[in-house]
Structure 1
């Protein structure tokens, strides 16, 4: 094919002004539709993507870079098709690396004076954009800084894992490269550079703008659930499963494999087996599969395959912890220290026991790298005899330290500020998953049984309890859905008696309210009002926490992403969000996106609490790196799925950083509450309660309590005397089976 080059002809000023005006309006409308609400508007957008499009852009580029037109035929001088729409403005960007000056987010902010810069001296380097939905890509416009690419390709992908090349060149010259007449499909679009224009070690790749044009797909039908997995093989540290294929009206693009709500593998749509690695020996896991199509629709889950990994060949226990001794003591706690154990593979952790009358009762744990711990929840003026053991990843446990450390706790006293947490009193038990919990004006408690779908009335002074009723239309998910959030309006409950409830239904997650009759101690199900529907459901990641603002004007709700990370960044979706509605379910007019969404970019929100300044704090689960505590602001973007805690592209402009993070092994935290501007965080996998002082907009003086004492902790709420209620979540909290748990509810006196 022969390309004839000619010098651009002058354009009539009147025609140029008219065309520029039309294109500028088009660019402005596109920016309004596609821009992230958290990002500022940029007046330069219409000039950048309007007046410079088509022939005008090539003419300007030729003036700046005369040799630039000698590239491949895809870089045509004709205008882009009228149907092309700018899809990429302010969409999440992820890069192989980024210099401190030049984050990935700069590449599609519509401003040519900002840029993304990769690490220097290394090939290949790449950057991709998440368009939020599958698109047909017909045009890509690159505006390079001086450090351009000689060789690069443009790729599309449905899952940012498997990529399809839709353009490549080895003759890149930089400047503006406007690639038209492209033909690709995918949600993700990548520039993959393999050779730099400036090959010395001091330079990398530098893109001022990466603009993607095309049309978004309209497929809204998710695939069918895949078949229940079967076991292919297992080892002490991995499990391989297989399943029967899902079907889709367009086609299955890929499968996401989970264990217990944690993503552990992804494969393409033609692969029906996968391996989840990095598991522990002799541990029970629940594996299931979700299918997704090219448009980003995610299926409901497959059934669950329960697998206990085989033990490893390691039969050697760690050495006994040495020199165990006490270093501090109060009326309700003892601090122990020891010298570290050793193991032929690795020490996985420590257990602390109280030895009395020939029995050994576990009262605490410590992490693998610890050489001490504080044992909490002890009884004042009581003798204890502590032993410490070490265990490894295969479950081998050392003998107990000898001799036992004998300590008698001190007499009861006031709860000093330095002590933090003091007396613990069990006020109730339950055999279901205790989720939402509220205190009534008379000091008694109502709580939700997640799997039985009942609301229970508990008198904490006597331990007496009764079910006040079953919430209608609740359906569990064989995971963590069911009857979750429970809240009362702090201002109006005394007169209106509404219970605000969040639960999973057969079709979605929703928020309802039902009246409670104190006279008959019953739930008046006939009064039910449905306040908000359409929050997607899945086996896990259903969120569920409710919290009223202190003035009673607004109800906030935490939702999960329904195991589809795209939901979190889509402000039209109610998933992966903190929501805000009026008590009657209407939308407040000052909500940032004119729907129920208040903040976005969350993975799975299960904790909400207000501080003394009326600020909202939020707790959410990470996947396998870290959990996070956030200070929520109106319209804020908290980064998921590009950012998990402080990992990933968390430095990207527009993503709000967490105030505190927790390794998942020491976290997996659910409920939070605030008492006297101390934040209390209840953690499940971490089996501990964090206490953190709110100081300005920071969290300081972080302490840990009850580490391993009571097992998994889910719910923490303020008690009327200035203490807190604390509920465990042990046994049956991932299978939706009613009445197969063993849980306790405590009253805890705090400083």
Structure 2
């Protein structure tokens, strides 16, 4: 295992040195191909734009916006570069679109700061037979001028760009307490299927080179798992996923419980927390954890022989016992005697405590994903699987569904209505809600106006800002975050279950993206597209600290999750490197890693330069203090108290919103979850 180079000039230089301009080896596909335009002046037909002669030009009708021109490449192609050579009548605002049928278009580039001359747009990522320049604002706005394009060069490859069909839904061949063998029917592909990847709840657990059966191990007895399969071809195209097979492993033949934990004692007591420690239990196979009870009701869990119970009630008596558990679910007898502990009085939450009380303000039966505070102290949040936005008054508990986001489609996994954000500078006046969601064809970012007077979503105002982010059953990312100055919108994406996407700077998948609020691409983005950083597996957490630096949280596969400090153009290593495991030399190192069993963390937030990380599989909240470019004083709260945790966001008065993700968060079925929204007091 190689060592990573730390963030700095050397790491950036190495990362930059490995990046060749996308499309440098691709062919010019557009020259001499059929061209269609919205209009043409008598001097200058559309065909002039693809004749290879910069002395000729296409000119649109004068004084009219928008205008467009598209070229028919003759076959589906992967588009990596578009070179525009403008005459004096250029476009300041335009987009580049691709299409399979010249009817439905997908935007792969947009700008509002076009300057004319030669604009060489590299690092594009689009697929289609037709490629269009769609101009919406001219450089010369007087009525006698139109658009004038001397050359319209489209570069790319016309090899195999078609992914295989989804494989058939798996069937169970056999199952043991520690493994499952599944089989499936073959996918089809125009050039031939090269292999299959088998996933267990979003984690790659087996691959084949063509066999239609595989075994996934490292399972636990009495566990329920969801298995599905993706097909891939020799060109690296990955199919959409098969249906999901739910498998429950049987119990093992281990029926011997662990020994009873001994010497349970306090290590700290405050008004809202109790620190506990005990003598570790033993087991013939192995202790997997501990459960902490208050008068017989489970209050928390722990991976080790110590924990801190948080979110407790001041001046309350607790009657605590600890039980050990093994992989087969065998529980030890409760520790004895009962430990009677009374929390101290008072309501102050000190920095030493870190996290204090949590008050439930609402429940919801859907997956609570994006969440934002409004100026009046109320909140809006997304229901991922129902595709609705809900307005909640946390003081009264009153809830109202303000609208359904159009064109959202779930994925029988983790896609659907995900990110929700407002511009911290302009929302009070413009009322735009920024949303990320899965559509029938992709993942995309849109914005829709919120009407405060009617307390409703005005869906007729929808603007599509960024499309073409590949979708799949899992690994869809989804988090949105504005920069503190409101100038840029950042988005976290997943690799769409194709690791090659993450390392390809032409692809928006496996990235942190950066766009302007209107969807155009900032001129200083490092690859002249929406990509800000790359080499990510599945980004679901973004937050800015007081220095304006962006922190990111992403899911690992089977080894470790990671928290990263994001730098412009940085490569964070996936798929070569997972956390600090694998071939990691030359990539930017994570600031913190977490074993996936204790992590699988989603949302993050930063309050008073303390980072809070909400974890799903780990069922806990991590807290760390940001010191320089490091994370210090790392602590764990709510371990096992509320189950799976997904979303954390700042709340008024320096507090924090926390949303759980219990049940139904891997199947896309609306209204089958059991979630809480909590208001947390932090130090």
Give yes or no for the alignment of 1:702 onto 2:650.
no
Tell me, yes or no, if the aligned pair for 1:236 and 1:281 is still in contact at 8 Å: yes
Distance in 2, matches of 1:528 and 1:734, equals 28
Question: Structure 2: which 5+ runs fail to align?
Answer: 1-11, 28-76, 79-155
Q: 1:364 aligns with which of 296, 300, 303?
A: 300
Superimposed CA distance per residue, residues 394-434 of structure 1 (whole angstroms, 9 cap, x where no aligned partner)? 11111211221111111024211111111211111111100
Q: Secondary structure at the match of 2:575?
A: coil
Distance in 1, matches of 2:515 and 2:13, equals 19
Superimposed CA distance per residue, residues 634-677 of structure 1 (whole angstroms, 9 cap, x where no aligned partner)? 11100000000001111x22x11111111111110000000111
Q: 1:406 aligns with which of 333, 340, 364?
A: 340
Q: CA deviation at 1:40?
A: 4.5
Q: 1:275 aligns with which of 215, 223, 227?
A: 215
Is the helix fraction higher in 1 or 2?
A: 1
Give yes or no for the alignment of 1:251 onto 2:192.
yes
Q: CA deviation at 1:218?
A: 1.8
Tell me, yes or no, if the aligned pair for 2:15 and 2:571 is still in contact at 8 Å: no
Distance in 2, matches of 1:280 and 1:591, equals 45
**Residues 296, 232 of structure 1: alpha-carbon distance in 2 compared, 3 angstrom cutoff:** same
Superimposed CA distance per residue, residues 612-646 of structure 1 (whole angstroms, 9 cap, x where no aligned partner)? 11110000000000000001111110000000000
Match of 1:515 in 2: 449
Distance in 1, matches of 2:656 and 2:367, equals 19
Superimposed CA distance per residue, residues 151-182 of structure 1 (whole angstroms, 9 cap, x where no aligned partner)? xxxxxxxxxxxxxxxxxxxxxxxxxxxxxxxx
Structure-to-structure mapping, 1:61-460, within 5 angstroms = 218-269=159-210, 271-355=211-295, 360-367=296-303, 370-460=304-394
Superimposed CA distance per residue, residues 669-702 of structure 1 (whole angstroms, 9 cap, x where no aligned partner)? 0000001111111010111111111111111111
Q: CA deviation at 1:322?
A: 1.1
Match of 2:145 in 1: none
Q: 1:533 aligns with which of 467, 481, 484?
A: 467
Tell me, yes or no, if the aligned pair for 1:456 and 1:468 is still in contact at 8 Å: yes
Q: 1:627 aligns with which of 553, 558, 561?
A: 561
Tell me, yes or no, if the aligned pair for 1:240 and 1:274 is still in contact at 8 Å: yes
Q: Secondary structure at the match of 1:609?
A: strand
Q: Secondary structure at the match of 2:652?
A: coil
Distance in 1, matches of 2:501 and 2:629, equals 28
Distance in 1, matches of 2:465 and 2:309, equals 44
Distance in 1, matches of 2:588 and 2:234, equals 29
Distance in 2, matches of 1:40 and 1:348, equals 44
Distance in 2, matches of 1:499 and 1:478, equals 25
Distance in 1, matches of 2:359 and 2:414, equals 28
Q: Which structure would you say has the larger Rg? A: 1
Length-normalised TM-score, structure 2: 0.78
Q: CA deviation at 1:492?
A: 0.3
Match of 1:19 in 2: none
Distance in 1, matches of 2:634 and 2:458, equals 43
Superimposed CA distance per residue, residues 40-88 of structure 1 (whole angstroms, 9 cap, x where no aligned partner)? 559xx9xxxxxxxxxxxxxxxxxxxxxxxxxxxxxxxxxxxxxx9799x
Distance in 2, matches of 1:649 and 1:516, equals 47
Q: 1:734 aligns with which of 666, 669, 682?
A: 666
Match of 1:692 in 2: 624
Superimposed CA distance per residue, residues 560-617 of structure 1 (whole angstroms, 9 cap, x where no aligned partner)? 0000000001111110000000000011111111111110000000000001111100
Q: CA deviation at 1:316?
A: 1.2
Tell me, yes or no, if the aligned pair for 1:501 and 1:512 is still in contact at 8 Å: yes
Superimposed CA distance per residue, residues 105-152 of structure 1 (whole angstroms, 9 cap, x where no aligned partner)? xxxxxxxxxxxxxxxxxxxxxxxxxxxx99xxxxxxxxxxxxxxxxxx
**Residues 593, 350 of structure 1: alpha-carbon distance in 2 compared, 3 angstrom cutoff:** same
Distance in 2, matches of 1:737 and 1:86, equals 43
Distance in 2, matches of 1:86 and 1:496, equals 43
Tell me, yes or no, if the aligned pair for 1:37 and 1:635 is still in contact at 8 Å: no
Q: CA deviation at 1:216?
A: 7.9
Match of 1:67 in 2: none
Distance in 2, matches of 1:467 and 1:216, equals 46
Match of 1:683 in 2: 615
Superimposed CA distance per residue, residues 188-230 of structure 1 (whole angstroms, 9 cap, x where no aligned partner)? xxxxxxxxxxxxxxxxxxxxxxxxxxx9882110000000000
**Residues 38, 736 of structure 1: alpha-carbon distance in 2 compared, 3 angstrom cutoff:** farther
Tell me, yes or no, if the aligned pair for 1:38 and 1:637 is still in contact at 8 Å: no
Q: Secondary structure at the match of 2:653?
A: coil
Match of 2:526 in 1: 592
Q: CA deviation at 1:302?
A: 0.4
Structure-to-structure mapping, 1:712-723, within 5 angstroms = 712-723=644-655
Tell me, yes or no, if the aligned pair for 1:38 and 1:635 is still in contact at 8 Å: no
Q: CA deviation at 1:320?
A: 1.3
Give yes or no for the alignment of 1:661 onto 2:603.
no
Distance in 2, matches of 1:677 and 1:660, equals 16
Tell me, yes or no, if the aligned pair for 2:291 and 2:323 is still in contact at 8 Å: yes
**Residues 409, 427 of structure 1: alpha-carbon distance in 2 compared, 3 angstrom cutoff:** same
Structure 1 ranges of 4+ moved more than 6 A: 84-87
Match of 1:91 in 2: none
Length-normalised TM-score, structure 1: 0.71
Match of 2:62 in 1: none
Q: CA deviation at 1:39?
A: 3.6
Distance in 1, matches of 2:281 and 2:297, equals 21
Structure-to-structure mapping, 1:483-632, within 5 angstroms = 483-632=417-566
Tell me, yes or no, if the aligned pair for 1:217 and 1:295 is still in contact at 8 Å: no
Q: Secondary structure at the match of 1:721?
A: helix
Distance in 2, matches of 1:514 and 1:521, equals 13
Q: Secondary structure at the match of 1:665?
A: helix
Q: Which has the higher contact order (CA 8 A, sep 6+)?
A: 2
RMSD after superposition: 1.9
Tell me, yes or no, if the aligned pair for 1:693 and 1:699 is still in contact at 8 Å: yes
Superimposed CA distance per residue, residues 539-566 of structure 1 (whole angstroms, 9 cap, x where no aligned partner)? 0000000000000000000000000000
Q: Secondary structure at the match of 2:363?
A: strand
**Residues 37, 503 of structure 1: alpha-carbon distance in 2 compared, 3 angstrom cutoff:** farther
Distance in 2, matches of 1:729 and 1:585, equals 30
Q: 1:466 aligns with which of 395, 400, 404?
A: 400
Distance in 2, matches of 1:383 and 1:565, equals 51
Match of 1:160 in 2: none
Distance in 2, matches of 1:542 and 1:86, equals 28
